[in-house]
Amino acid sequence: MATKESIKQERLPRHIAVIMDGNGRWAKKRGNQRIFGHKNGVKSVRETVEASAELGVNYLTLYAFSRENWNRPDREIDALMNLLISTIDTETKTLMDNDIKLLTIGNVEGLPQKVQDKVAEVKAKTAQNQGLKLVLALNYSGRWELQEALRRYGEDVKNQRVDNGPHQPDLEQYLTTAQIPDPDLLIRTSGEARLSNFLLWQLAYTELYFTEVLWPDFRKENLYEAILNYQTRERRFGKTSEQVVRNKTKNNAPQYG
Ligand code: IPE
Ligand code: IPE
Ligand code: MG
């Protein structure tokens, strides 16, 4: 069993992103409706948020609802929206107790008004918190985000708000993740090994970790296991292994672009 104590603090991922998957299958295995799986995923969210805060992770991004998820049956979408509201509401205490600040990425304006209101309320309430930043990806799509970024960049060029010189555009400042560092570790549960339109730009050099565990079964120990696995990886950012080992004591911030 992976333990918290075996994690090396000096190699802690600064930002962990999670594709929380497998709720429907979890419920189906128990002869229940899919929404039963979503409800049982709330405990996994709490455990993951708490464990990340306790470890000192700086950013935790959770993929809660994709743009493509609108294609699900209306009943499931309604249930997911209501669950989102009630979970943000009940978990506000966890956020306050652990000094966690709530942020969002994605097209929040495209969500039902009642969801937008709850998100805005809890963002404001946790705005002064100094610990973990919990980033909820809501109505998120990586391609949508890149298209939006390019559209807004084009507008800025047209209105001469940015210099359209022969340099690469600073696309990052136009993404919904503008103030957030790229993830170091991506976890996807339920055995699926795909990105499903998540953080397509930001995951360029992220370490990927796939586990068979279904999201409602995911506990703190599963997070520790993923982090321990991450700590065995050598992040090379295009360099050779020898260069990485030699530079270990130097500043080994990623250099790519
Ligand atoms: C993840 O579980 C939750 C959301 C996508 C909202 P799923 O609902 O995708 O569960 P499976 O993949 O069908 O088992
Ligand atoms: C990805 O899971 C989206 C979220 C976890 C919110 P999906 O279950 O929607 O992904 P696909 O459709 O299996 O790729
Ligand atoms: Mg799924």
Going from the Cα of 253 to the center of ligand 1, the distance in angstroms, rounded, reads 35
Q: Tell whether 242 is covered by a domain.
A: yes
- 1 assigned to some structural domain: no
What local confidence, expressed as pLDDT, does residue 168 receive?
78
Looking at the domain assignment, is residue 67 inside a domain? yes
Protein residue whose Cα sits closest to atom 12 of ligand 1? 22
Phi and psi angles of residue 152, each rounded to the nearest 5 degrees, phi first: -70, -35
For residue 94, report the distance from its CA to the centre of ligand 2, in Å. 26
The pLDDT assigned to 250 comes to 56
| Ligand index nearest the alpha carbon of residue 187 | 2
> What is the set of active-site residues?
21, 69
Nearest alpha carbon, ligand 1 atom 13: 24
Q: 74-125: per-residue pLDDT in tens?
A: 999 999 999 999 999 999 999 999 999 999 999 999 999 999 999 999 999 9
In a domain, 8, yes or no: no
Pocket test for ligand 1, best of 19, 20, 21, 84 (most atoms within 8 A of CB): 21
Residue 196 Cβ < 6 Å to ligand 2: yes
* Residue 257 lies inside a defined structural domain of this protein: no
Cβ of 69 closer than 6 Å to ligand 2, yes or no, is: yes
How many folded domains does the chain comprise?
1
Q: Whose CA is nearest to atom 6 of ligand 1?
A: 65
Q: Which residues of 38-70 are buried (b: 16+ CB within 10 A; e: fewer)?
A: bbbbeebbebbbbbbbebebbbbbbbbbbbebe
First-to-final CA distance of the chain: 38
Q: Is 21 in the pocket of ligand 1 (CB under 6 A)?
A: yes
Q: How far is the CA of 133 from the centre of ligand 2 (A)?
A: 23
Domain range for 29 is: 13-252
Which pLDDT value is given to residue 142? 98
Report yes or no on 2 lying in a domain: no
Residue 16 Cα to ligand 3 middle (Å): 19
Q: Say if 173 falls within a structural domain.
A: yes
> Residue 88 is part of a domain; what is its CATH number?
3.40.1180.10
- Amino acid identity at 105: I
- Check if 22 has its Cβ closer than 6 Å to any atom of ligand 1: yes
In a domain, 180, yes or no: yes
Q: In what order do the strands lie in the sheet with 101-105?
A: 101-105, 133-140, 59-66, 15-19, 185-188, 207-210
pLDDT profile of the chain (257 residues), mean per 10: 94 98 98 98 98 98 98 98 98 97 98 98 98 98 97 92 79 95 98 98 98 99 98 97 83 54
